[in-house]
Structure 1
Amino acid sequence: MNKYVERLKNGLLTENPTFVLMLGMCPTLAVTTSAINGLGMGLSTTVVLVFSNLIISLLRNIIPNRVRVPAYIVVVATLVTVVQFLLQGFVPSLYSSLGIYIPLIVVNCIILGRAESFASKNGPIISIFDGIGMGIGFTFGLTCIGIVREILGAGQLFGAQILPLADEATGKAGFTPITIFVLAPGAFLVLGFLVAIMNQVKVVAARKGKPLPSNAGSIEGNGEAERITAEKQKEAEAKKLEAKEKMPQVNAVSEKEAVETKVEEKADNTDKQSTKTADDVDK
């Protein structure tokens, strides 16, 4: 059971597709003008992700390696078509809001990435949990961005007015929507702030001795990894340089020993010849 919980935690925190891996940025920035849009896109992607992981895991030993990517795309496209028909039939307003981004789920790098890196190498049950974890993480990211943008850009939350708007005609004081947050630049701003907040929370937790799961792919994680790699490279270069400096000394010692050995052998041969000559003279 622990490995299944780890898969869920992996998608939500350790390798969150939105805030850590920075995957699926096209729908993340385009459809999150409201919380309901973010939630709808996230849940649609989660359904496709879970079932594609299941099917690809079951067929992993049947699909030839050279055509695996086209096979994955066919599986995902079939599931996306089903989801598209369901949205069109039961929630047409959401279907209209998401528009072209529903068919684009077919080429979502999160889905194809999990199919290639996990589902094609693991059993169906754990692949389902992996899909659920990554889907929940993606939905969480989109919904958070949608909530912030909707509140700041319209004073609403899930379509309900929560901040009374100002009325210039009557002089009524109230909230003035910040239009930029419902536009493309607002999506970048909100995403950047949320990523920064998440990284800061991890830094604070690490300082308190209660580190969260490793933030693979985040700015902090990449900086630390680069520092460690640079230190290892410096150590390796220092060792190579030290070895090169020792090589001439070793070679000189070896040559000296070889010369001494030859001299000793020559002296021994001379002594033997002298002894032999003396013996011959005595005879």
Structure 2
Amino acid sequence: MSLFSKENRDALTGPLNLNNPVAVQVLGICSALAVTSQLEPAIVMGLSVTVITAFSNVIISLLRKTIPNRIRIIVQLVVVAALVTLVSQVLKAYAYDVSVQLSVYVGLIITNCILMGRLEAFAMMNGPWESFLDGIGNGLGYAWVLVAVGFVRELLGNGTLLGLRVIPECIYASNGGFYVNNGMMTMPAMALILLGCLIWALRAINKEA
């Protein structure tokens, strides 16, 4: 089978749109709401989930024929927990401020329903390469939703992106202008509203979803 056969391309690109884990399957909502008040933690969380989903899929796919059925969930959790621990330590070593912002949500990747769902539904039944593509696709599908919500929330809530001033100070009401930051954007309720709007838009565009 070709490395980039139609089935493999679908496994990689499907979760980005028609089979998006957040917008279509409505999975991983908790972390999507919790880490999107700013763009940087949203990007880091999305990349972390992508890496963990891809490599846990590969590992479980390699082990799938040797894992007794009655303990398969335990084995999956052990593999995911090991990868999450590695990612958490890397973040603490090289991106400590972001690690603090993400708080417990990096650890909670262990129970992320997107990740566990792909292990059970795909990696246990497919080869390593197909599972790797599926993990990358679902991780990036999750990540772009977080980044989109984080982009809007930080821009309209703080007037910044990645901590850098984007909306000029001169147009703020405090400086004689007309603009005021939307404080609602920094609240969890607005994350839910934005995510709901994004889900509606994607489903309206993609009638198949």
- State the TM bucket, normalised to the shorter chain: over 0.9
1:103 aligns with 2:103: no
Relative contact order, higher structure (CA 8 A, sep 6+): 2
In structure 1, what is the Cα distance between the partners aligned to 2:117 and 2:86? 21
Query: What is the DSSP-based 3-state SS (H/G/I as helix, E as strand, rest coil) of the residue aligned with 1:121?
Result: coil
In structure 2, give the amino acid aligned to 1:27: S
Q: What aligned pairs does 1:84-95 form with structure 2 within 5 A after superposition?
A: 84-95=88-99
Gaps of 5+ in 2: none
In structure 2, what is the Cα distance between the partners aligned to 1:73 and 1:175? 48
In structure 2, give the amino acid aligned to 1:128: F
Write the deviation string for residues 133-165 of structure 1: whole angstroms up to 9, x where unpaired: 001101101000100111111111121111124
In structure 1, what is the Cα distance between the partners aligned to 2:137 and 2:84? 19
Q: Is the 8 A contact 2:173 2:179 kept in 1?
A: no
| Structure 2 partner of 1:142 | 146
Query: What is the DSSP-based 3-state SS (H/G/I as helix, E as strand, rest coil) of the residue aligned with 2:124?
Result: helix
Q: More displaced, 93-102 or 192-201?
A: 192-201
| Structure 1 partner of 2:134 | 130
In structure 2, what is the Cα distance between the partners aligned to 1:175 and 1:128? 46
1:71 aligns with 2:78: no
1:81 alignment partner, one of 72, 80, 85: 85
Write the deviation string for residues 92-123 of structure 1: whole angstroms up to 9, x where unpaired: 11111101100000000011100000000100
In structure 2, what is the Cα distance between the partners aligned to 1:174 and 1:36? 28
2:194 alignment partner, one of 179, 190, 197: 190
In structure 2, what is the Cα distance between the partners aligned to 1:91 and 1:105? 18
Gaps of 5+ in 1: 204-213, 216-283
Larger helix percent: 1
| Structure 1 partner of 2:13 | 9
1:29 alignment partner, one of 23, 28, 33: 33
Query: What is the DSSP-based 3-state SS (H/G/I as helix, E as strand, rest coil) of the residue aligned with 1:118?
Result: helix
> How big is the alpha-carbon RMSD for the aligned residues of Structure 1 and Structure 2?
1.1
1:58 aligns with 2:58: no
In structure 1, what is the Cα distance between the partners aligned to 2:104 and 2:145? 20
In structure 2, give the amino acid aligned to 1:38: A
Count the aligned residue pairs: 203
In structure 2, give the amino acid aligned to 1:30: A
Q: What aligned pairs does 1:217-228 form with structure 2 within 5 A after superposition?
A: none
Q: Is the 8 A contact 1:150 1:157 kept in 2?
A: yes
In structure 1, what is the Cα distance between the partners aligned to 2:197 and 2:71? 41
2:177 alignment partner, one of 173, 181, 185: 173
In structure 1, what is the Cα distance between the partners aligned to 2:102 and 2:19? 25
Q: Is the 8 A contact 2:18 2:206 kept in 1?
A: no
| Structure 2 partner of 1:46 | 50
Decide which structure has the larger Cα Rg and report it.
1
Write the deviation string for residues 27-53 of structure 1: whole angstroms up to 9, x where unpaired: 100000011111110000111000100
| Structure 2 partner of 1:163 | 167
Deviation, 1:13, is 1.1
In structure 2, give the amino acid aligned to 1:32: T
Q: More displaced, 171-180 or 145-154?
A: 171-180
In structure 1, what is the Cα distance between the partners aligned to 2:206 and 2:69? 39
Deviation, 1:188, is 0.9
Q: Which runs of 4+ in 1 moved over 3 A?
A: none
In structure 2, give the amino acid aligned to 1:34: Q
Write the deviation string for residues 253-279 of structure 1: whole angstroms up to 9, x where unpaired: xxxxxxxxxxxxxxxxxxxxxxxxxxx
Using structure 2 for the length normalisation, give the TM-score.
Answer: 0.94
Identity among equivalent pairs (%):
38
